Structure 1
């Protein structure tokens, strides 16, 4: 795992026709198409039901936290909480509010989408582009694929999003990463978790490819499972972004030391992404060498559901034209 390496040109993409053929073979060999559709619909209903229960519990936990803080400080409560007699009555006998099952903010973990496979199976993301990509966008997609050790790259061709997502679901892929461009410059990245979401959209700035980084490490690109560094994510939204990003990478085995580091550093809601490897310069000397790509990501939307649902998914958070009116407020 730690010694594998590939050249920059060895990450061969998966052709669009091959992806559809593979998905068809998976569906035909395992179960009929109708049964697969019924199973996916049933899983979707179960997920939405669990999500609704989690959101309800989160709302109750937030009200209980406000009630607890008000009782401790003597400050007045919001009328909607103060007039809720059942909430106050249940609060007296609630034994679930303990330091072991409640975090310091009184929040409930909403990342149910990742709970089933997190730490159990390696993620299998697929990286693709908008249609008719430029050479530079294709190179950027290849470098994103090299950044994620268990990912594959797809030449999209003329595939539309619904067919793309259904093929990815049939092939048991876990995430879809779609990169966009404007006049040859990568400008946006959409990360959609399969099969139920969420879908996070980022704008890209200051994108520098491997070939354009001065003094970057050349030659083979290590595919060892990287050590992840997340710094500066403090709010609930910031921790949500950390969950989305970290589940694109496979977990490293305990005791195994890889030779590369991927860092996500949040500075005023701008996420600086860097990729380094350890280079041995002496018997006991080790230095960090940047590999690339280098970029800045800015979150502008998180929606429920997957990519093909578009604007029909529930908006979890969005950066509107009025969101940044206060220059001193950071959301991540």
Structure 2
């Protein structure tokens, strides 16, 4: 009996070992057979769809497990597990020595004495002249009309055959603080010059993805109130300078009753422009699945309210990319550039300049 049990045990062990070897071989075969190695197109697409579906299901299970662990830790009064921060191009950018720091006294001292300090310290009221290139289009004129509604105290002038240098001299005599020149190519605005007066600098931007107000669904109409200005992610010395140049186009005393917000958001050296109106609404808060309500609402028999913010886009909508920053006013021949974008600068996707 003892020998038979030993034989049975050894046979079962051998069978399990064979099964494990077989399972391991099957796993190796499955791992070796990638969808790209399958020659049949229909089978390849089916295998790829199956793998994608399994990956999605696994991702959902992991998300549910993380949420359950987070809720359990809060209920028990323990410290919740740290949330993983995904790797992005922004948070893995190459280190840059020119990134501004909050304790940089040299930067603040330079800001107090730069070309924009008179406007930003409310010593001078911004007055903007907007003009076109010599061969403009109806779409360019429509864009200028909408820019006038965005920037307070902006005036448009017909370019005619005048050289841009003569327009700069005229604007200086008329006490304008800046010039915006909209460049058009093939009837589509594709460039923007911002010239700070009287002594510069001059910034040249590439203009793309322009959407006018009439093409935005459910757009709003802006009022004449002075807008609030939001500048995001201008972190380097060059970005700080461009941000102050843009800031000098707008009055520094916004009228909050108008509920207008103008946003310049920098992401990966692309500056996204948006123009919104906002409103705050008080809505009744729905009870949760267990029918719980706050103690204050229960005692007074009043519905609990929460405040939500709603946004309505007014337009236009466009994207800017800095091409060059030049000392002084516009000069194509003798001008000296502070910064110029060159093709060899685009060798790394994680290198940003603003």
Q: So what's the TM-score if we normalise by structure 2?
A: 0.60
Q: Which of 214, 220, 240 is the aligned partner of 1:217?
A: 220
Q: Which has the larger radius of gyration?
A: 2
Matched, 1:273 2:276: no
C-alpha separation in 2, matches of 1:326 and 1:106: 30
Q: Which of 98, 115, 129 is the aligned partner of 2:117?
A: 115
Unaligned segments of structure 2, at least 5 residues: 1-100, 284-306
Q: CA deviation at 1:279?
A: 4.5
Q: CA deviation at 1:270?
A: 0.4
Q: Secondary structure at the match of 2:203?
A: strand
C-alpha separation in 1, matches of 2:217 and 2:119: 39
State the Cα RMSD in Å: 2.3
Unaligned segments of structure 1, at least 5 residues: 1-98
Query: For residue 199 of structure 1, what is the aligned residue in structure 2?
Result: 202
C-alpha separation in 2, matches of 1:212 and 1:249: 25
Query: For residue 235 of structure 1, what is the aligned residue in structure 2?
Result: 236
Q: Which of 313, 317, 327 is the aligned partner of 2:339?
A: 317
Taking the TM superposition and a 5 Å limit, the aligned residue runs for 1:162-201 are: 162-201=165-204
Q: So what's the TM-score if we normalise by structure 1?
A: 0.64
Q: CA deviation at 1:156?
A: 1.4
Taking the TM superposition and a 5 Å limit, the aligned residue runs for 1:1-332 are: 103-104=103-104, 106-107=106-107, 108-109=109-110, 112-118=114-120, 119-218=122-221, 221-252=222-253, 256-279=256-279, 286-307=309-330, 309-332=331-354
Q: CA deviation at 1:325?
A: 1.3
Query: Is residue 118–residue 124 contact of structure 2 (8 Å, CA) maintained in 1?
Result: no
Provide runs of 4+ in structure 1 moved above 6 Å: 280-285
- Name which structure has the greater RCO, CA cutoff 8 Å, separation 6+: 1
Query: Is residue 227–residue 258 contact of structure 1 (8 Å, CA) maintained in 2?
Result: no
Q: How many residues align?
A: 228
